[in-house]
Amino acid sequence: MTMDIGYVRTDFVPAKPAPGRTGGPILWAQKNLFSTPTNALFTVFGILFLLWAVPPLYNFIIGHAVMPGGTVEECRAEGAGACWAYIYARFNFFIYGFYPIEEYWRPNIVFVMLAALIIPLLMPTAPFKRTNALLFFVVFPVVSFYLLSGGVFGMRYVPTEQWGGLMVTLIISLVGIICSIPLGILLALGRQSKLPIIKTLCVLFIELWRAVPLITVLFMASIMLPLFMPAGTTVDKLLRALVGVTLFSSAYLAETVRGGLQALPRGQFEAGASLGLGYWKRTYFIILPQALKHVIPGIVNNFIALFKDTSLVSIVGIFDLLNTVQSASSDIEWASPTQAVTGYVFAASMFWMFCFAMSRYSLWMEHRLDTGHKR
């Protein structure tokens, strides 16, 4: 028996044209670059701008540049690009400043120690955190100080005037960052304190340092301070800058941390108190972990600013990275039209490298610590 199965098609459905593309570069471009006339206009201008800007930039930095090993005559030639040969030739000066050449192994050991200690410290999964932190915050500064300045174990004494370059930039920013964290937190807590003297002192300190430009602080420290000190006593110039930068940065940090403290609901303080925790335990176990987490972007922002601000020490005659670059740009042996520009490009890229690394690390840390507060 055959049933009428009229609802079953007996013929094939004719093939339809393929559906419109939902992917591919052309559609992507249509959707993202030319979706509206305004967007199309911006795209065209953007492309024109790139065509205008990129080739000369490429030619300057790579195409027509004089690579390491080149001579000053090539750099002086008409139309020569960046003079990397000059950066290569003076590279040691940019890294170590006036540090005696035969003693370079000392800063080198410090650089290696720094890398060996700071990388595991920054990796949450690395073991031996406590030992690592102890080594980094206590042993490392002492060892590197004696290594760099010498005068012990038969090592030649190298006064701080001879320190320079990237070495000094890193010293100032590391000391500034590490010392300003505890100071800043204490100041922030002090400002919220109920004890009037502590509170007033903290407010005065913070407002004073925030109200003066860093240049003024450094200028005061290097020019005025010696005039007020008794004759014959001199405080090391680098130390003065270190203290100035640290105090300045701690005042800013204090306000950032205070922002985090204020973001915490009052209940957190009270809950801590109701558990019978004293002020310090409450602060250490309950308040700070939450408050600091809130303000990681702000704190890192401070650190990046501090890192870049270290270049201001050049106005008091300390040879940081930027100042060595500036000073070498008057080096007559490498005198060429692009000498100064190349130096600045180099300095900028060094600064960028460090600042970008810091900002990436903080972003990663934020995500790691993100325990349900993200909006």
Partner 1 sequence: MQKTLVTIAVAASLGLGATATHAATLDDVKAKDYVQCGVTGGVPGFSAPDANNVWAGLEVDFCRAVASAVFNDAEKVRYTPLTSQERFAALSAGEIDILSRTTTWTMSRDTDLGISFVGTMYYDGQGFMVRKADGIASALDLSGAAICIESGTTTELNAADYFAANNLEFNTVVFVDQDEVVKAYEDGRCDVYTTDGSALAAERSKLAVPDDHLILPEIISKEPLGPVVRQGDDQWFKINRWVYFALLEAEELGVTQANVDEMLGSDNPAIKRLLGVEGDFGTPLGLTKDWAYHIIKLVGNYGESFERNVGVATPIGLERGLNALWTDGGLQYAAPIR
Does 316 bind partner 1 (CB under 8 A)? Our answer is yes
Is residue 321 close enough to count as binding partner 1 by CB under 8 A?
A: no
Burial label for 302, CB within 10 Å (0-12, 13-18, 19+), is buried
HEC states along 293-315? HHCHHHHHHHHHHHHHHHHHHHH
Q: Does 159 bind partner 1 (CB under 8 A)?
A: yes
Considering only the stretches 1-9, 97-105, 189-197, 276-284, report the one whose residues sit in contact with partner 1 under the rule CB under 8 A: 97-105
Under rule CB under 8 A, residue 228 binds partner 1: yes
Binding mask 296-315 for partner 1 (x = CB under 8 A): ------------------xx
**Binding pattern for the stretch 235-254 against partner 1, x by CB under 8 A and - elsewhere:** --x-----------------
Examine residue 227 and tell whether it contacts partner 1 (CB under 8 A). Answer: yes
- Asked if 319 interacts with partner 1 (CB under 8 A), we say yes
Does position 157 interact with partner 1 (CB under 8 A)? The reply is no
Cα atoms in the 13 Å half-sphere on the side-chain side of 323: 21
**Distance between CA atoms of residues 132 and 43, nearest Å:** 51
| Options 144, 246, 339, 362; binder of partner 1; rule CB under 8 A | 339
Min dist CB 82 to partner 1, Å, is 15
Amino acid sitting at position 350: M
Residue entry with tokens 């065209």: 44
Q: Among 42-50, 58-66, 216-224, 276-284, which window interacts with partner 1 (CB under 8 A)? A: 216-224
Angle between helices 165-191 and 105-122 (to 10 degrees): 40
DSSP-based three-state secondary structure for 72: helix
Q: Count how many Cα atoms sit within 13 Å of the Cα of residue 291 in the half-sphere of its side chain.
A: 26
Q: Is 348 an interacting residue with respect to partner 1 (CB under 8 A)?
A: no
Closest distance of CB 110 from partner 1, Å: 18
Select from 292, 328, 347, 350 the one that contacts partner 1 (CB under 8 A): 328
CA distances for 21 relative to 13, 33, 35, 56, 118, angstroms: 22, 17, 16, 38, 50
CA distance 363 to 354: 14
Q: Judged by CB under 8 A, which of 86, 99, 252, 351 binds partner 1?
A: 99
Q: Report the half-sphere exposure of 193 (CA within 13 A, side-chain side).
A: 18
Interacting residues toward partner 1 by CB under 8 A: 76, 78, 89-90, 92-93, 96-99, 101, 159, 161, 219, 222-224, 226-232, 234, 237, 314-317, 319, 323, 326-328, 330-333, 335-337, 339-340
